[in-house]
Amino acid sequence: MPPRTHTARTTALLLSAVIVAGGLTGCSLLSPTTCEGTDALMKELESLPLLSSPPPGATPPTKSDATFSECADDSGDAYLSASRSYVYAGTRQEVLDHFRRAAEADGWRYEPNPMPDMRQYNSCFTRGADGEAKELRVFFVKPDQITESYGPDAGREFATGAGFEVTVGADVNGAAGSCWG
C-alpha cells in the first residue's frame, strides 16, 4: 500500500505543477479556446459604431494601415479584437472626452485607469454581462512606435497632434473581465 500512496502523491504534485505552470505562462489546460468558428463575433466587433465614430476632424492615416483585426489564441484562451487608427490635430483630452461621451451614451461603462497619472494616455470601457462581454479601449500612439512599424512618413503624420487607436475586443466565450486586471 505505501507505493500506491507515493504514486498518488507524485501524481498530485505533478498535476499541481502543470496547473501552476499553465497559470504562470498564461496557458489554460482546463478550458482552452481557439479562433475556430469566430467569424460572426469578429464581424460584430468590426461593425461596432464606435470604431468608426472618431471626433470631428480625425481621419484615418494616409501613410499606414488604419484598420486591424485579429483573433489570438496562442495563450490557450482566444481573444478577438478589431482596431482603427486615426490622426487628429486636436488634444488627447478632446479625444478622451469625445469617446467617453459616445461610449457612455451607447451603454458602455467607463473603468478609470487605477494609475491616475496614466489616464491621459488611455481609456477603457466595458459592456455586456458574462457570456457577451466586450471591452473598448482608446489609447494614444507614439510617433516613434508608428515609425518603427510603418516608416518615417507615417511617424511624421502621427506627430501632428493626437494620433490614437480605438480597439474593441472580446474573449471568444464572452467572459467578463476588468480593463486593468
Cβ contact 142:136 at 8 Å: no
Q: What is the pLDDT of residue 12?
A: 33
Report the amino acid identity of residue 34.
Answer: T
Closest CA to 179 of 106, 124, 108, 117: 124
Show the cell assigned to 121.
494616455
Question: Which pTM was predicted?
Answer: 0.74
Report the amino acid identity of residue 177.
Answer: G
Neighbour order of strands in the sheet with 134-140? 67-72, 79-86, 164-171, 134-140, 122-127, 109-110
Encode the chain (181 residues) as per-residue pLDDT tens digits. 444 433 333 333 333 333 333 444 444 444 558 899 999 999 999 999 999 999 999 988 887 778 899 999 887 789 999 999 898 888 889 999 999 999 999 999 999 888 888 877 889 999 998 888 999 999 887 777 777 776 777 666 666 667 889 999 999 988 887 888 7
Q: What is the pLDDT of residue 10?
A: 31
- DSSP string over the chain: -HHHHHHHHHHHHHHHHHHHHHHHHT--SSS---STT-HHHHHHHHT-GGGG-PPTT-B--SSS--EEEEEE-TTSS-EEEEEEEEB-SS-HHHHHHHHHHHHHHTT-EE---SSGGGTTTEEEEEES-TTS-EEEEEEEPPHHHHHHHH-HHHHHHHTTTT-EEEEEEEETT-----TT-
Show the cell assigned to 136.
473598448
Cβ contact 106:49 at 8 Å: yes
Q: What is the pLDDT of residue 83?
A: 94
